[in-house]
Amino acid sequence: MINPLKKSNLLKKSVDYRRVNRRIKAVIFDLWETLVEDKANGELERDTLRADFIIQTLNLPLPFKPKILEFFTVLSDAFRNPSPHNEWSLVPEAQIDYLIRNLDLTVSKEEFDKIYTFYTESLLDNPPTFTEECVLTVLASLKNKYKLAMISNTGRSPGKTLLKMLEEKQIRKYFEVFSFSDELLLRKPDSRIFEITVSKLHVQPNETVHVGDSYKMDFLGAQSAGVNPILYAKGVESPKANPFIRSHLEIEQIIRDNYDKN
Ligand SMILES: [Mg+2]
């Protein structure tokens, strides 16, 4: 015979279990302007060095320099507004190829490879800094509770270079999945880049949060894949969306208040 008291204890136990059971199992981070940021004019300085290197390698006259710098402006615009029309900007090989075609140049394989190496690895000579001093300790602490992943729309520096940079900054070890747009040939806000990341983490979208600084790419992108968004709004007076954080130190609290509720 079932003891009704025992039964109610069992039920109570199961309710308690659900209460302590954390709903969120994984945290995905954006990279640029969320975990790391360039010094003022960092990319402009690198682009100038890239332009000089291309001119030197191909032995071009100096009037080519403003044309190459103009290409970098077009490129940055393509990164800000990804669309099927600017898919040439997805991978560095195609970016360099686009530049060469537009300048109407003939380039040997050896010259192309030389330019590619300089172009894609300039970042390592002049790396970005953490957005906050606490980045390392926050990641170490989150790693004890959640699976961590990174989704990054890459630009001139491909995933391969970014991994080296993350290794040098000693944070690569905290992430078990990396989704770089130049490798997946998909970029935020495309929901598929979030779906692939979540499936590699072996969790459900609603068991995941995505932390990123861009309302369009990160917040809306994550939402479109059913992933819980958190807007990173360091130094922003009126953030565009809720929930938001102004420091990574707030992540765990925001997860508890917004997404771990039963
Ligand atoms: Mg970003």
For the segment 214-252, what is each residue's pLDDT rounded down to a tens digit? 999 999 999 999 999 999 999 999 999 999 999 999 999
pLDDT class of 6 with cuts at 50, 70, 90:
low
Q: How far is the CA of 32 from the centre of ligand 1 (A)?
A: 4
Q: How far is the CA of 130 from the centre of ligand 1 (A)?
A: 13
Contact yes or no for 122/50 (Cβ under 8 A): yes
169 and 253 assigned to the same domain? yes
Average pLDDT over residues 180-188: 97
Supply the pLDDT for residue 3. 55
Q: How far is the CA of 29 from the centre of ligand 1 (A)?
A: 9
pLDDT class of 117 with cuts at 50, 70, 90:
very high
Q: How far is the CA of 178 from the centre of ligand 1 (A)?
A: 15
- Euclidean distance between CA atoms 260 and 243, whole angstroms: 13
Q: How far is the CA of 153 from the centre of ligand 1 (A)?
A: 8
Which range marks the domain in which residue 100 is found?
42-125
For the segment 49-99, what is each residue's pLDDT rounded down to a tens digit? 999 999 999 999 999 999 999 999 999 999 999 999 999 999 999 999 999
Q: How far is the CA of 93 from the centre of ligand 1 (A)?
A: 22
Q: How far is the CA of 43 from the centre of ligand 1 (A)?
A: 14
46 and 34 assigned to the same domain? no
177 and 248 assigned to the same domain? yes
Q: How far is the CA of 184 from the centre of ligand 1 (A)?
A: 17
Average pLDDT over residues 112-117: 98
* Averaged pLDDT score across all residues of the chain: 92
Does any domain span residue 201?
yes
**Considering the chain, what percentage of its residues have pLDDT values greater than 70?**
91
Does any domain span residue 70?
yes
Lowest mean pLDDT among 15-24, 25-34, 210-219: 15-24
Residue 16 scores a pLDDT above 50 = no
Q: How far is the CA of 30 from the centre of ligand 1 (A)?
A: 6
Average pLDDT over residues 36-54: 94
The CATH number for 236's domain is 3.40.50.1000
- Euclidean distance between CA atoms 207 and 189, whole angstroms: 19
Q: How far is the CA of 7 from the centre of ligand 1 (A)?
A: 51
Residue 20 scores a pLDDT above 80 = no
88 and 149 assigned to the same domain? no
Residue 19 scores a pLDDT above 50 = no
Q: How far is the CA of 128 from the centre of ligand 1 (A)?
A: 13
Q: How far is the CA of 151 from the centre of ligand 1 (A)?
A: 9
Residue 21 scores a pLDDT above 80 = no
pLDDT class of 17 with cuts at 50, 70, 90:
very low
Residue 122 scores a pLDDT above 90 = yes
DSSP symbols for 13-73: HHHHHHHHS-S--EEEE--BTTTEEPPTTHHHHHHHHHHHHHHHHTT--TTHHHHHHHHHH
Q: How far is the CA of 2 from the centre of ligand 1 (A)?
A: 58
Q: How far is the CA of 214 from the centre of ligand 1 (A)?
A: 6
Q: How far is the CA of 144 from the centre of ligand 1 (A)?
A: 24
117 and 148 assigned to the same domain? no
Total structural domains in the chain? Answer: 2
> Of 25, 26, 31, which Cα lies nearest the Cα of 171?
31
Residue 176 scores a pLDDT above 60 = yes
Residue 153 scores a pLDDT above 50 = yes
- Kindly report the pTM of this predicted structure: 0.89
Average pLDDT over residues 121-133: 96
Give the end of a domain, one of 125, 146, 168: 125
Q: How far is the CA of 134 from the centre of ligand 1 (A)?
A: 18
Does any domain span residue 79?
yes
- Euclidean distance between CA atoms 216 and 209, whole angstroms: 16
